[in-house]
Structure 1
């Protein structure tokens, strides 16, 4: 027991608080909150567990060893100081005593001795010790109830070692703050990975038919990501890292929203390209360059739009792409309409001219000339329209 003098220096080698005022504050009462249980293991125990002629337990043996002596002499103070520290700093105390593990001869080569060759009492005591550790040792936690992991313990150890190397006194508060930054950064990364994992799986459902469907996928992934963060994070003061996560998730949501929209646009254009193939071919072949062609063109366009609206799997950009497609066809539609009106008017005039030939028999030369001019004018209009249409078609192809 007298060899445990290092416990008397604990308050000088480590601090609970990091504030400057803590240098003048007695923190000894705080250590009991953070220190583990004290387990005293005495090996090669040859004494009898007796006190005043009565058998005592191992714990009673330790309790007796921790008793303080009365008096104020230097020798008494030196005797009492480590015991006072052990009683004051550690919230519980346990003792185990172990007999010698083997005979003197076997101790010379103990590493190679099989377990069945060890002393039965030693094996029994060892199993008792292990059982106590496994069943009674609480999970290591930090202030705030955060459960320490092996990785986190390693980070804390590094911060302690770095503090000692730099000549400063390790602060438990600073170590927790540093660990919180490390663990919370990891929590953000893990949460983002979870979001990415779920959204990549959801890409198989792109393009979604509605924006609401996409938002539901994002909401589900966002919720799972937040659960991961909340599970792994601790001491996130002012929700600094949680806000960082929310910002990152918002950015990644935009990325997947663009993917969803782009897939919708590609799908819609593919559907329109397939459905409009016959209409485009009709325009190229001059199918609508005849009287009544505009009406026929509009009927086929309406049929195309109806078929497009019935097609599934177009996604959130269905109407927008359709509007863009119809706008692109406005020039063609206008050209067909103008040509159709011109052709119908020329044909009407030609019919009126033919029906009035008898009335104009006194002027055969004028009638013949007028008729010929009308025919040529009509043919010219048709030729001009076809030329205009051909130029537009070449431009579209180019």
Structure 2
């Protein structure tokens, strides 16, 4: 995108509305996305930073008057500058606190959407981080009213926020102060953390204000586990240059300012991660389009968004597509790999095994929150159905090829039979010699496929009555020889029928044995993938817990025991969640085993043999 488009616009009735054009653009992006949103007071230079992240001077509107330029939320998508295979999505939001707008509710909604949609949230302000600046960040405290993590469970919401919220970057503009604390130099990050330190009221008069500011600071500390600060010098001392930042060349700007801009951009490029849902599943442009629509509708219709409900709704869409995409991959790959007919049943089963394995990876990569394994079962059922179709086609192509081959090889035989050429003395031997010759040539032909034996036996069976007729007319044979030959042909006919039956039974047994081995591998692969996902979720949760432990220790060391106890409560809830993830894994294993048996009843003995392996993978 060379230019931004409006993603979410404000309507005349004060509600927010998603722009269909922008949603269409996002829906076509199949790559994972890194989403960077910038929020802050209007006329503080947010759009300039977003243009720099896009690697351009123009794009997002940069104004030079006291009027706000950006309305709603504007979006620009581009290939990630440093990470291959990712798309960078930049969201420039309407300035908060615009007096002309006169709608504070809209400000809160926009801030809330920026938090929910981004993987990195930039808060832009000017000069210093003081109590006034903290006051302006009251939107953070309002997140608890607008965002629910789980439906029907208010108690755990705040403890869960930092799992779902982005990294927090404070961009402080036009800074003139010296970075010192108690006479010692400090870093930008230390300055931010010092500004986030809670204070104690000196009097009853100030206590209410201090407590309110402490609440805002506590929200920032508890909701955003990763915090960063960047401080920017004045871009220029020249008023004309300052008011035309999108038009002037960089050599007209303060070089220290430009260095800080580069540091800021480099940090975003390297540290802002792919947006995730359900802890570990990467958001593509397609998924982001659904999140934008669902979160906007939820906030505007009920003034609250439930993360769990939105993610569940998105997961239904994604799981449905995961089934379709993985099934389609299997079908296309089989068409590409299988040359019909295969020489043996083993060949097509081995090809199918590899295709199914890759299709399963595609399904598992895209599928998420499939807690009852409804979509996994559907995928497995689809694969079974498509596999059967390929096996049937392989048999049909083999039969077609073999019948065509026999027709070609028996052309002379057919002609002789039609002309009654064998109905004479010595005709029976001529007939049997011809049949043996056809059989020899047939055996030496390659690539006959799975129905080769069955088709030839059918051919032999079809010629048995002809053979008996020829033998009875052959005057070169004695009565005794004819009697023996007739008995021999009748025995051969029974043998042919037995061989045909055995061919079918053997093929079915071989198929079931091979399928059993493949299903064992598939089951183990699914359990392994589930185990890996469980460990990733636990690792993510442990990172959040460690962050909260640091906040708890800081509060306690500074004498804010009440906040320390609150942090410990959050930690306890998340520890239970961590244990629950492990417990759920056992339920998943059992459910998966039952699911396999429902879809494939013959797999029951196999499931028992791999449960032990699954247990090992889950506990590993």
TM-score range normalised by the length of the shorter chain: 0.7 to 0.9
- The CA deviation at 1:290 is 1.4
- The CA deviation at 1:37 is 2.4
Which position in structure 2 is the counterpart of 1:107?
A: 242
Report whether the alignment pairs 1:280 with 2:414. Answer: yes
* Structure number with larger C-alpha Rg: 1
**In structure 2, which of residues 219, 224, 238 is the aligned counterpart of residue 90 of structure 1?**
224
Q: Secondary structure at the match of 2:229?
A: strand
**In structure 2, which of residues 374, 396, 405 is the aligned counterpart of residue 262 of structure 1?**
396
Which position in structure 2 is the counterpart of 1:81?
A: 215
Q: Secondary structure at the match of 1:111?
A: coil
Which position in structure 2 is the counterpart of 1:159?
A: 294
Which position in structure 1 is the counterpart of 2:167?
A: 37
- The CA deviation at 1:40 is 0.9
Report whether the alignment pairs 1:9 with 2:139. Answer: no
- The CA deviation at 1:309 is 1.9
Bigger CA drift: 271-280 or 26-35?
A: 26-35
Structure 1-normalised TM-score?
Answer: 0.78
Q: How does 1:146-225 map to 2 (within 5 A)?
A: 146-167=281-302, 169-204=304-339, 206-225=340-359
**In structure 2, which of residues 257, 261, 284 is the aligned counterpart of residue 122 of structure 1?**
257
Q: Report which of the two has the higher share of strand.
A: 2
Q: CA contact under 8 A between 1:68 and 1:83: conserved in structure 2? A: yes
Q: Secondary structure at the match of 1:112?
A: coil
Q: Secondary structure at the match of 1:322?
A: helix
Q: How does 1:289-368 map to 2 (within 5 A)?
A: 289-340=423-474
Q: Using the alignment, how far apart are the partners of 2:354 and 2:163 within structure 1?
A: 40
Flag the 1:64–1:210 CA change in 2: closer, same or farther, 3 A: closer
Structure 2-normalised TM-score?
Answer: 0.51
Q: Report which of the two has the higher share of helix.
A: 1
Report whether the alignment pairs 1:249 with 2:380. Answer: no
Q: Using the alignment, how far apart are the partners of 1:202 and 1:76 within structure 2?
A: 70
- The CA deviation at 1:120 is 0.4
1:227-249 Cα distance to aligned partner (Å, 9 max, x none): 22223323321322221111111
1:76-99 Cα distance to aligned partner (Å, 9 max, x none): 333333223222322232211112
**In structure 2, which of residues 405, 408, 412 is the aligned counterpart of residue 271 of structure 1?**
405
Segments of 4+ in structure 1 off by > 6 A? Answer: 342-345
Q: CA contact under 8 A between 1:28 and 1:89: conserved in structure 2? A: yes
Flag the 1:53–1:257 CA change in 2: closer, same or farther, 3 A: same
**In structure 1, which of residues 48, 64, 67 is the aligned counterpart of residue 178 of structure 2?**
48
Q: Using the alignment, how far apart are the partners of 1:134 and 1:80 within structure 2?
A: 32
Which position in structure 2 is the counterpart of 1:67?
A: 197
Q: Using the alignment, how far apart are the partners of 1:86 and 1:189 within structure 2?
A: 41
1:13-58 Cα distance to aligned partner (Å, 9 max, x none): 001111x2x24x2632221232222211111223333445554332
Q: Using the alignment, how far apart are the partners of 2:411 and 2:255 within structure 1?
A: 92
Q: Using the alignment, how far apart are the partners of 1:151 and 1:343 within structure 2?
A: 82
1:52-73 Cα distance to aligned partner (Å, 9 max, x none): 5554332233233223332253
Q: Secondary structure at the match of 2:377?
A: helix
Flag the 1:67–1:216 CA change in 2: closer, same or farther, 3 A: closer
Which position in structure 2 is the counterpart of 1:380?
A: none
- The CA deviation at 1:341 is 5.8
Q: CA contact under 8 A between 1:43 and 1:97: conserved in structure 2? A: yes
- The CA deviation at 1:5 is 1.1
Q: CA contact under 8 A between 1:144 and 1:235: conserved in structure 2? A: no
Q: Using the alignment, how far apart are the partners of 1:92 and 1:305 within structure 2?
A: 77
1:320-352 Cα distance to aligned partner (Å, 9 max, x none): 21122223323433432343369988xxxxxxx
Q: Secondary structure at the match of 2:170?
A: strand
Q: CA contact under 8 A between 2:164 and 2:279: conserved in structure 1? A: no
Flag the 1:288–1:92 CA change in 2: closer, same or farther, 3 A: closer
Aligned residues: 341
5+ long unaligned stretches in structure 2: 1-132, 480-620
Q: CA contact under 8 A between 2:276 and 2:282: conserved in structure 1? A: yes
Report whether the alignment pairs 1:226 with 2:360. Answer: yes
Q: CA contact under 8 A between 1:268 and 1:314: conserved in structure 2? A: yes
Flag the 1:66–1:179 CA change in 2: closer, same or farther, 3 A: same
Flag the 1:343–1:142 CA change in 2: closer, same or farther, 3 A: closer
Which position in structure 2 is the counterpart of 1:392?
A: none
Q: Secondary structure at the match of 2:230?
A: strand
Flag the 1:60–1:289 CA change in 2: closer, same or farther, 3 A: closer
Q: Using the alignment, how far apart are the partners of 1:181 and 1:26 within structure 2?
A: 24
